[in-house]
Structure 1
């Protein structure tokens, strides 16, 4: 089959690009990322063009006229590739077949308990730029990822906007445990596709294959020992006694704490590949047996005459209707199913060392991953990046940079 061209927005440390590479049929042609450490890592791992700030990606060439009028080359001024709207339509840059993006979650995450702004917040509002690019380029497949609370902090708007653009939209809440990682890390994944795609012509749900993968994983052990199973193994592998001895340790761990799990993304890509290769031309009958959850009107989604803002944790939206048949416990694993799991890795865990005694006195899971490792005996040093890479499903050493890249 033909190879897909991939646009990776909000690339982070490249989780979607890694999954695309592992899929064997997706070539990442362009990314959009501004963090300096992530940019060096992306350049080292993928050697692809980076458009930098998503607000500068796919805009009309006149946007850069202030610099060009002064004979300034934009990419030399900003350090990023200048990719305009005209570049796509004039064939300078190939049109993407698939676009991904884990837009900033700060205003969506449950960790931000006082912030109710959701996708209208300062950071998370960048999803509107992601939607702008999708609309302008009419990208056949689009994949989003964000925090579990997105279903009540803006998912309704995203789904309605995509449906209005002619996409069928599917979404699922997926836990890391469904892929044998020993922490829950529930995240919302959205897949939108146009009627002309293999998924659009098929009667099958994109997430059907993802569920099959999770089902095959049910009887498999976790990818790492639990704390109570092998405390000495955890101490040997998770603890770096001299944090300063590892270059960029904090940045590496913090980027991993903000990353996707590539295995999940790859299963979505694999599903898309199978649907593209399918001869099924029966139309979107996969939603007909599901319970209706709402209708789209100008104000948004409406159910029984009331506007819907809290979306189901999974569903399909097609044209002007949402369908949902309830929670999928295979992917959206109940948080009481397993005992003794780790807390998930957070964006700032690289900043916290094992000498912070207050971690041991915090109730419940508020001590986080650092507190749990302290509780089995760690009292100095900090998290080791190799442990965090394995924890999040990245190859050992993935976040390392060569010495020549550390300046």
Structure 2
């Protein structure tokens, strides 16, 4: 599965993508404008090219609905309850239109869009309509970090889109996501319970004990204890910037639920 990552941030989606698809998945392009986030990405994904401005990014692929994946969470500044609630007309959240433009050019087999649940009232209908015009059917689901064992709720809305023609034959319709999501969440949570934290230290602002808990399930089991560095070290340089980058990132465990669904659909429609 080849993928293009838009609004990449510090790579939360990429962590989940590689955990789900393994050697069968490859991110061929990232798009991220923040210089500090780019530094983190180059450290962890040195061989993946990064385009700095989505306005000037034109994919050099045309998958023609047969293969490929485009994923990303466009800025939620205007769609989340914590923002100004201007919706897709806001200066930052309107970048969704650039994501839709890239999708229309590349025509991937699958599209994955992520945003806070405030999008339900501030742009979801327009996004689904835009994908419909581009030739895609959609599935929508809400996944929270709390469901996966994290100590915070952090609900996120995921939209999975795939071409119309995959749904035209009723005998080829897969079970709906609602029927699958409980099993996916339980599997990811149980996997996290088996993961052990590594030695504690801080590297580029990311506590290693967080990285050692691959799918977050262990957080709930250790809620009564506090790691040496709970979050970003208070007196480290550029702490505010680190916290900001964290806040704009997706919880990899939540993204993994969506990627598992895409992997399932890809195998279901392998011969279509």
Shared fold, TM over 0.5: yes
Alignment of 1:355-366 (within 5 A): none
| 1:145 positional shift | 0.5
| TM-score normalised by the chain length of structure 2 | 0.77
Match of 1:147 among 92, 116, 134: 116
In 2, Cα distance between the equivalents of 1:165 and 1:104? 21
1:277 aligns with 2:267: yes
In 2, Cα distance between the equivalents of 1:271 and 1:101? 16
Structure 2 runs not aligned, ≥5 long: 194-216
| 1:214 positional shift | 2.5
Structure 1 runs not aligned, ≥5 long: 59-84, 284-407
In 2, Cα distance between the equivalents of 1:255 and 1:39? 11
Q: Which moved more, 1:15-24 or 1:119-128?
A: 15-24
Q: Which string of whole-angstrom CA distances, capped at 9 and with x for unpartnered residues, describes residues 235-256 of structure 1?
A: 7432777613xx5433222211
Q: Structure 2 vs 1, CA of residues 240 and 182 (structure 1 numbering), >3 Å: closer, same or farther?
A: closer
2:213 paired residue number: none
SS across alignment from 2:229: helix
- Any conservation in 2 of the 1:176–1:186 contact (CA below 8 Å)? yes
2:68 paired residue number: 97
SS across alignment from 2:146: helix
Q: How many residue pairs get matched?
A: 241
Match of 1:264 among 246, 254, 268: 254
SS across alignment from 2:219: coil
| 1:275 positional shift | 2.5
In 2, Cα distance between the equivalents of 1:242 and 1:170? 40
Match of 1:254 among 244, 247, 264: 244
Q: Which string of whole-angstrom CA distances, capped at 9 and with x for unpartnered residues, describes residues 136-177 of structure 1?
A: 221210000011110000000000111122211011121111
- Any conservation in 1 of the 2:185–2:257 contact (CA below 8 Å)? no
| 1:216 positional shift | 5.0
Alignment of 1:77-92 (within 5 A): 87-88=60-61
2:202 paired residue number: none
2:90 paired residue number: 121
| TM-score normalised by the chain length of structure 1 | 0.53
Q: Which moved more, 1:96-105 or 1:121-130?
A: 96-105
- Any conservation in 2 of the 1:12–1:259 contact (CA below 8 Å)? yes
- Any conservation in 2 of the 1:193–1:199 contact (CA below 8 Å)? no
In 1, Cα distance between the equivalents of 2:49 and 2:29? 5
| 1:218 positional shift | 7.9
1:397 paired residue number: none
2:44 paired residue number: 45
In 2, Cα distance between the equivalents of 1:274 and 1:136? 25
Say which structure is richer in helix. Answer: 2
Q: Which has the larger radius of gyration?
A: 1
| 1:180 positional shift | 1.2
